[in-house]
Amino acid sequence: MSLALAPLDVSVEVEANLPCRKFDPDLWFSDSPAELELAKSLCGDCPLRVECLAGAVERAEPWGVWGGEIFERGAVVPRKRPRGRPRKEDLARDAALRVEAEARLAASGLSDSRNTVRLAA
């Protein structure tokens, strides 16, 4: 069957309400930590958040915000650090955020042995 004759995707109506379709797509791939945090917050109420995150984990997305998580070099990172050497308090906060990210992934059912998620250290 050709693509022209393929049945309509039911999710077409849903896509109009997805944050990544409403806002500038560059927001999800920004270099700015503040913009990435904004993109993460916009993903919070998305009806496809879990599926988006699962797909990104499966593909080992190299970068961007997917399913409310930040990916960098194929790993989930708790937050994008600004350029330069991190301060000691930032390292402690990163450790706490890493635990929080692991908990969110576990709650989404993405931390089982079948879908091993690599978290950046």
Which segments are annotated as binding site?
20, 43, 46, 52
Annotated binding site for [4Fe-4S] cluster: 20, 43, 46, 52
| DSSP 3-state of 14 | helix
Whether residue 57 contacts residue 117, with contact meaning beta carbons closer than 8 Å, is answered with: yes
Please count the residues of the chain.
Answer: 121
- DSSP string covering 74-118, please? TEEESSPPPSSPPPHHHHHHHHHHHHHHHHHHHHTT--SGGGPPP
Whether residue 74 contacts residue 60, with contact meaning beta carbons closer than 8 Å, is answered with: yes
